[in-house]
Amino acid sequence: MRFLTAGESHGPELTAIIEGLPAGLPLSIDDIDKELARRQVGYGRGGRMLIEKDRVKITSGLRHGLTLGSPLTLVIENKDWKNWQSVMSQTEISEKEKKKRKVTRPRPGHADLVGGIKYGHQDLRNVLERSSARETAMRVAIGAVSKVLLQALDISVASHVLEIGGVRATLPKNLAMSQIKDQSEASDVRCLDAVAAIKMREIIDLAKKEGNTVGGVVEVVVGDVPVGLGSYTHWDQKLDGKIAKAMMSINAFKGVEFGVGFDAARLPGSEVMDEITWSDLVGYRRESNHLGGFEGGMTNGMPVVVRGVMKPIPTLYKPLASVDIETKETYKASVERSDSCAVPAASVIAEAVVATEIANALLNKFDSDSFGRLKKELSEYREYTRQF
């Protein structure tokens, strides 16, 4: 399975084409819309989310509720486009108008300056429109299709927020998948620790009041993953590597870790490796999951546990210094609207990109033409691994 996404933040719409989905997978627009809605809610977002009401339109690859095996095309309208039609006009506009609308002041922490230098854009809007995290709406739509596939194969995906602005959740070990799902959904910061959630909201409010922004840490957990997705045989087949890349591709993500992650540097080996046990009923298993479900770039049958750190939103109401690319004068940026924290939304996006990589690994390993055959092959393979 592969996909492309296209679309500018304030253009008419976002588009994606997914190629390589199996035929016969039951899929509905509601499956995707409910994931899009999850990405839109979350404490700390700015004015744009009040304008957008993300809904998907499927224009190819689906018939009578089943995928056809042909490319699936997804479209999400940008409601805000109507307010930007002249700014985003595809046809030539007068020099006077162009000058008036030109963005020449790069925002620190954004793609603006480097993108302008790299592509030779004197109007930095030509960079910021595509570098915007608006694109992540489509990544969630693709993740929603992937989640439908995973769910139909009894693989579940959930996510939650571990930390915002230095406030950390204190959580019991070995949380059940259903707990993560239910409790994160019930919280507008997607945090399972109700006390920390209150402090997180306070820290977001404080940052907002001070014209500042905050980042945080999100965690994705995938349960009932079969053994042996990905491969140790070649560097680019390692599934943890593919997931790390997907996580790092989310706007503002600065780091990724699996299982104990960076703590592995400080812990003795006996607290990092997961001892192997065997029983007649389940076959091989681990009593712990310090390695987050991966050995040798392959899933080992334990839940995949991956975390990503998001930097604070770069656009601040308390302006940062930058340089106008036309006049070379120093200025302090003025901001019209921005999110002050998008960590809860990022947790939903992280869930989507991880689901996409796991779905892709399954499609690489098993029959990817027909969903029925894929399901049968996976079931036989699960039995094989149990009996190994």
Ligand X SMILES: Cc1cc2nc3c(=O)[nH]c(=O)nc-3n(C[C@H](O)[C@H](O)[C@H](O)COP(=O)(O)O)c2cc1C
Ligand Y SMILES: C=C(O[C@@H]1CC(C(=O)O)=C[C@@H](OP(=O)(O)O)[C@H]1O)C(=O)O
Residues in touch with ligand Y (CB under 6 A): 9, 46, 48, 52, 132-134, 136-137, 251, 337, 339
Strand pairing report for 156-164 and 330-332:
unpaired
Q: Does 130 belong to an annotated binding site? A: yes
Question: 251 labelled as ligand-binding?
Answer: yes
When the beta carbons of 81 and 381 are compared against ligand Y, the nearer one is 81
Q: Is 346 in the site for ligand X (CB under 6 A)?
A: yes
Q: How far is the CB of 137 from ligand Y (least distance, A)?
A: 5
Q: CB under 6 A: which stretch of 150-158, 232-240, 263-271, 335-343 binds ligand X? A: 335-343
- Give φ, ψ of 256 to 5 degrees: -135, 145
* Shortest separation between residue 46's beta carbon and ligand Y, angstroms: 6
Q: Which is nearer to ligand Y, 111 or 355 (CB)?
A: 111
Main-chain dihedrals φ then ψ at residue 201, nearest 5 degrees: -60, -40
CA-CA distance, 374 to 366, in Å (whole number)?
Answer: 6
Strand stretches in 191-291, DSSP E: 216-223, 253-258, 276-279, 283-286
Decide if residue 315 touches ligand X (CB under 6 A): yes
Q: Is 266 a known ligand-binding residue? A: no
Q: How far is Cα 78 from Cα 134, in angstroms, rounded to an integer? A: 9
Binding partner of 52, given ligand Y, ligand X, none, CB within 5-8 angstroms per partner class: ligand Y
Fill in the per-residue mask, 255 to 294: x = in contact with ligand X (CB under 6 A), - = not in contact: ----------------------------------------
Q: Which is nearest to 69 in space by CA: 369, 358, 388, 327?
A: 369
What letters, b where the CB count within 10 A reaches 16 and e where it falls short, cover 38-76? bbbebbbbbebbeebebebebeebbeeeebbbebbbbbb
Which of 9, 67, 136, 356 touches ligand X (CB under 6 A)?
Answer: 136
- The SS3 of residue 168 is strand
Q: Does 78 bind ligand X (CB under 6 A)?
A: no
Number of other CB atoms surrounding residue 278 within 10 Å: 10
CB of 11 vs ligand Y, minimal distance in Å: 11
Binding site residues, ligand X, CB under 6 A? 46, 109-111, 131-133, 136, 250-252, 311, 313-315, 338-339, 342, 345-346, 349
Binding annotation for NADP(+): 39, 45
